[in-house]
C-alpha cells in the first residue's frame, strides 16, 4: 500500500556517510539518494492530464499529529511538491483543485498518506475530517490519479500472503523463487484446530493488523495472553492467521550493556508506474531493540539501521 520508513532509509544513509565515510571509500555501495527523484517521476508518469514536469503532484497528509508526518514533510520537500491537508484541496466539476495564494491550481496526482476509510467522507466514513469530499468522484472520472489507488490495501491482508505461490504461478506461469513461510488460515477448521493446539509455539496475527499490534508470539507469551488469544480465535477465527516462530537474523547492535545481537527484518521499497518498476538499491533494516524480542516495529520500540548494497568486484557469491 504505502509502506512507511523510506525517509529513515535516506536519513540513516546520510548519518552513515558522515560518521563512517571510510566505509563508502573502501566499498562500492549503491547510492539511494535518487529515491525522491524516482518517486516524483513515478507520480508524474501516472498523471491523467499532463505527464512529466507539467504534472501537478501533491502529497496529502492527515496533518502534523500523524506519527509519520516527519516522513510526509521530508518527502514533499525532497520532491519539491506541495504538502497539503484536506483543507488545502477542493473538488469542483469532478476535478481536484489546490488553493494557493495565487488562486486555484488543478491537481493531477495525489500521493496520499491517508487510509481509505478517511479519504472521502462522501464515500467512506462520513465523520472524517481528514479527507476531501468528492475526491473519489474525481478519481472515478479520470481527472486525478490517487497513489496508491483505494483498495490496494488488500495486499496488506496477511491472509492474502498465504496465496502468493498460487498468485505468482497464475500470473507468471512459474513457481515463486522465494518460498513462503508456512501459514495457517484460521478460518479453515483444520488450521484453527492446529493453531489452538499449538498456541505456545506459533505466531498469531490479525489479518488486517499492522504496527506489531494484535499479535501473539507464543514462545514468549504469558499464559494469560495465550488464553486471551484462544478466546479471540474461537470467537472470530476468520480474523487471524498463524505461522511458525521464525529465527530472525541478528546483527550487532549498540545497547546500554555494549554491543549485542538483536533481531532484524528488511523492508524493500519498490516503485511501479507507467514507465516500469524501480527497485531501490537499499532498504530499511528494522531492529528489535529489546533483548530477545522478535517485534521490530517502531511503534513497539524498534529501531532502524542503514542497509548497504555492494556493487563492486569485492562482492562475493
The full DSSP string for 132-194 is -TTHHHHHHTTSSEEESPTTGGGGG-HHHHTTHHHHHHHHHSS--SSPPPP-EETTSHHHHHH
Q: What is the pLDDT of residue 316?
A: 53
User: From the first residue on, what is the mean pLDDT of each consecutive set of 10 residues in the chain (317 residues)?
Assistant: 85 95 93 95 93 92 92 96 97 97 96 95 96 97 95 87 94 93 95 96 88 80 93 95 89 90 91 92 91 75 89 61
The full DSSP string for 229-273 is HHHHHHH-GGGEEEEE-----EEEEEETTEEEEEEEEEE--EEEE
CA distances from 60 to 111, 246, 258, 259 (A): 6, 37, 42, 40
Q: How far apart, in whole angstroms, are the C-alpha atoms of residue 147 and residue 164?
A: 23
Q: How far apart, in whole angstroms, are the C-alpha atoms of residue 37 and residue 98?
A: 22
Q: What is the pLDDT of residue 134?
A: 97
Q: What is the pLDDT of residue 83?
A: 98
Cβ neighbours of residue 274 closer than 8 Å, sequence gap 6 or more: 45, 46, 51
Q: What is the pLDDT of residue 73?
A: 96
Question: Longest Cα pair distance anywhere in the chain, in angstroms?
Answer: 65
CA distances from 223 to 41, 197, 242 (A): 51, 14, 18
Q: What is the pLDDT of residue 295?
A: 75
Q: What is the pLDDT of residue 317?
A: 44
Residue 46 near residue 274, CB atoms below 8 Å: yes
Q: What is the pLDDT of residue 260?
A: 92
CA 2 to chain centre: 5
Q: How far apart, in whole angstroms, are the C-alpha atoms of residue 67 and residue 290?
A: 21
CA distances from 215 to 190, 210, 238, 262, 275 (A): 21, 9, 15, 20, 38
- The pTM for the full model equals 0.86
Q: How far apart, in whole angstroms, are the C-alpha atoms of residue 124 and residue 135?
A: 11
Q: What is the pLDDT of residue 247?
A: 79
Domains and CATH numbers, the chain: 34-154 (3.40.50.11290), 182-244 (3.30.1490.270), 250-305 (no CATH)
Q: What is the pLDDT of residue 290?
A: 86
165: cell is 505461490
Amino acid at each position: 500500500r504505502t509502506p512507511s520508513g523510506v525517509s529513515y532509509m535516506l536519513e540513516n544513509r546520510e548519518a552513515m556517510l558522515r560518521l563512517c565515510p571510510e566505509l563508502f571509500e573502501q566499498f562500492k555501495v549503491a547510492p539511494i539518494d535518487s529515491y525522491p527523484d524516482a518517486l516524483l517521476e513515478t507520480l508524474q508518469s501516472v498523471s491523467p492530464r499532463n505527464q512529466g514536469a507539467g504534472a501537478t503532484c501533491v502529497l496529502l497528509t492527515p496533518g502534523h499529529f500523524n506519527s509519520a508526518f516527519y516522513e510526509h514533510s521530508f518527502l514533499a520537500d525532497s520532491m519539491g511538491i506541495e504538502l497539503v491537508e484536506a483543507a488545502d484541496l477542493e473538488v469542483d466539476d469532478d476535478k481536484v483543485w489546490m488553493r494557493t495564494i495565487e488562486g486555484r491550481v488543478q491537481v493531477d496526482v495525489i500521493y496520499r498518506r491517508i487510509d481509505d476509510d478517511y479519504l472521502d467522507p462522501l464515500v467512506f466514513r462520513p465523520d472524517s475530517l481528514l479527507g476531501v469530499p468528492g475526491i473519489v468522484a474525481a478519481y472515478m472520472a479520470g481527472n486525478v490519479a490517487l497513489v496508491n489507488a483505494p483498495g490496494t490495501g488488500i495486499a496488506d491482508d496477511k491472509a492474502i500472503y498465504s496465496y502468493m505461490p498460487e498468485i505468482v504461478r497464475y500470473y507468471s506461469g512459474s513457481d515463486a523463487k522465494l518460498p513462503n513461510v508456512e501459514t495457517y488460515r484460521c478460518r479453515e477448521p483444520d488450521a484453527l484446530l492446529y493453531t489452538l493446539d499449538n498456541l505456545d509455539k506459533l505466531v498469531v496475527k490479525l489479518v488486517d493488523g499492522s504496527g506489531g499490534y494484535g499479535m501473539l508470539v507464543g514462545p514468549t507469551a504469558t499464559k494469560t495472553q495465550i488464553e486471551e488469544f484462544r478466546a479471540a480465535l474461537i470467537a472470530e477465527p476468520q480474523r487471524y492467521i498463524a505461522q511458525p516462530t521464525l529465527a530472525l537474523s541478528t546483527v550487532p547492535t549498540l545497547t546500554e550493556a555494549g554491543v549485542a545481537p538483536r533481531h532484524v527484518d528488511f523492508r524493500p521499497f519498490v516503485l511501479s508506474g507507467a514507465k516500469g518498476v524501480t527497485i531501490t538499491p537499499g532498504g530499511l533494516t528494522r531492529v528489535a531493540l529489546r533483548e530477545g524480542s522478535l517485534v521490530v516495529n517502531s511503534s513497539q520500540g524498534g529501531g532502524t539501521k542503514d542497509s548497504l548494497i555492494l556493487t563492486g568486484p569485492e562482492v562475493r557469491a
